[in-house]
């Protein structure tokens, strides 16, 4: 198997990982990524096949799980109830209950509120150069989630701080300071939501927490700990992905001069942005039993890295994959995953992206870059440190 010796924190790789993915893919659909100590699937077919393969899952086999360090117990106490980290039957039960509260009808009903919020944020943007990430891309999804949960808009900055601290655990640059911050954030976020859940049990309202409390399937309900983790997951996963996608998308549109094409068909534009420069580049799976993929034998407990960013640029599946084309006919990309763990928040993310981009471009048709955009050292996430623009 080809040895892929790329450091995920290398400055050039952080700014543009796609040439490295191409080099790896040319040496086979499955390569050994030295930095992670596991095989990495680089092509569209293999990534999508393993995402759907029930012989692979998100849970490390119990007999191979190590002891959780004391300083991380609060963080993993939250993770223990996350449907993102679970396999059937626990995953099936949790996802079914969550989807009863987080329905497609409820998401569609959010559209007018998202439109009003996007318009408010867009109209408040200054004439002088400013950072679009902090002024627009970040507050939009955070405030939407706050309102969805039923917490005041004023809590959005605190929710954002907790989310950023917890999500940092998945970055290649993780260290003890990041771990301590994540554990503290997990404890504080959980304590805050526990109070809210108890309040909503006593006094129901028209918010997601109330709907999740009421959700029931075959006599089963979500426990308080499951409710808390689900709310944290929706914020952490939903916010991170939407902020990065909005930022990456506007950057790409401005660099390629495709503003008019984007506005002509925003649905296709969003799908092309997700394909071309996705917010999450890697997702891992554990082998649940011995299985051979591309002549590599996985033993129970072995991990594989599924390279979503690489799969989205596979020339075997996409014509001119390195070309950004908002008129491209959409077909399934890997950005929201696939199979059992297809992102439960994908409909909300797509709605926010379509409305957020359309509103921004309509209000500021002369938007332009003032500084060269720079990606942050966040791998395996892929998002900008800032996006300096002006509206005229």
CB distance 194 to 228 below 8 Å: yes
For tokens 């991990």, name the residue.
303
For residue 130, give the H/E element and its range: strand 130-131
Token representation of residue 240: 């991170």
Determine the Cα–Cα distance for residues 233 and 197; give it in Å rounded to an integer. Answer: 15
Say what the pLDDT of residue 240 is: 87
Q: For 209-236, what is each residue's pLDDT tens digit?
A: 999 999 987 788 999 999 999 999 999 9
Say what the pLDDT of residue 29 is: 97
Q: What's the fold here for domain 3-390?
A: Cytochrome p450 (1.10.630)
For tokens 């408010």, name the residue.
120
Q: What's the chain's average pLDDT? A: 95
Rounded to two decimals, the pTM is 0.95
Q: For 257-274, what is each residue's pLDDT tens digit?
A: 999 999 999 999 999 999
Residue 182, Cβ neighbours under 10 Å: how many?
25
| ω into 380 cis (within 30 of 0) | yes
Q: For 246-260, what is each residue's pLDDT tens digit?
A: 999 999 999 999 999
Return the closest-CA partner of residue 251 out of 334, 134, 104, 372.
372
Mean pLDDT, rounded, for 275-296 = 97
Say what the pLDDT of residue 71 is: 97
Determine the Cα–Cα distance for residues 329 and 317; give it in Å rounded to an integer. Answer: 13
Q: For 75-132, what is each residue's pLDDT tens digit?
A: 999 999 999 999 999 999 999 999 988 888 889 899 999 999 999 999 999 999 999 9
CB distance 330 to 302 below 8 Å: no
């Amino acid at each position: 198997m080809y040895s892929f010796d790329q450091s995920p924190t290398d400055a050039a790789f952080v700014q543009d990982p796609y040439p490295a993915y191409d080099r790896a893919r040319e040496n086979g659909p499955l390569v050994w990524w030295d930095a992670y100590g596991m095989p990495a699937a680089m092509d569209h077919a293999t990534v999508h096949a393993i995402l759907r393969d029930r012989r692979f899952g998100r849970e490390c086999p119990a007999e191979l799980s190590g002891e959780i360090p004391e300083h991380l117990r609060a963080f993993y106490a939250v993770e223990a109830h996350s449907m993102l980290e679970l396999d059937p039957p626990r995953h099936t039960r949790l996802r079914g209950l969550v989807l009863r509260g987080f329905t497609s009808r409820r998401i569609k009903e959010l559209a007018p509120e998202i439109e009003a919020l996007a318009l408010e944020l867009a109209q408040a943007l200054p004439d002088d150069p400013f950072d679009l990430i902090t002024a627009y891309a970040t507050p939009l999804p955070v405030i939407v989630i706050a309102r969805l949960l039923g917490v005041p808009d004023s809590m959005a900055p605190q929710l954002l701080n907790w989310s950023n601290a917890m999500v940092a655990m998945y970055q290649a640059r993780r260290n003890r300071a990041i771990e301590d911050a994540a554990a503290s954030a997990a404890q504080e976020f959980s304590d805050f939501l526990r109070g809210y859940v108890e309040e909503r049990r006593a006094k129901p309202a028209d918010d997601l927490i109330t709907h999740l409390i009421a959700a029931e399937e075959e006599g089963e309900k979500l426990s308080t700990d499951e409710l808390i983790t689900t709310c944290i997951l929706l914020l952490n996963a939903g916010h991170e992905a939407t902020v990065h996608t909005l930022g990456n998308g506007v950057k790409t549109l401005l660099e390629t001069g495709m503003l008019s094409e984007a506005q002509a068909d925003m649905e296709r534009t969003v799908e092309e942005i997700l394909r071309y420069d996705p917010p999450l580049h890697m997702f891992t799976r554990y082998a649940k039993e011995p299985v051979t993929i591309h002549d590599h034998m996985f033993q129970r407990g072995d991990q594989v890295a599924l390279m979503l960013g690489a799969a989205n640029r596979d020339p075997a599946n996409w014509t001119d994959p390195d070309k950004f084309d908002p008129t491209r006919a959409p077909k399934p990309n890997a950005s929201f995953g696939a199979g059992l763990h297809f992102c439960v928040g994908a409909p909300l993310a797509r709605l926010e992206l379509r409305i957020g981009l359309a509103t921004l471009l309509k209000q500021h048709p002369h938007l332009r870059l003032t500084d060269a955009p720079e990606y942050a050292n966040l791998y395996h996430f892929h998002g900008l440190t800032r996006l300096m623009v002006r509206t005229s």
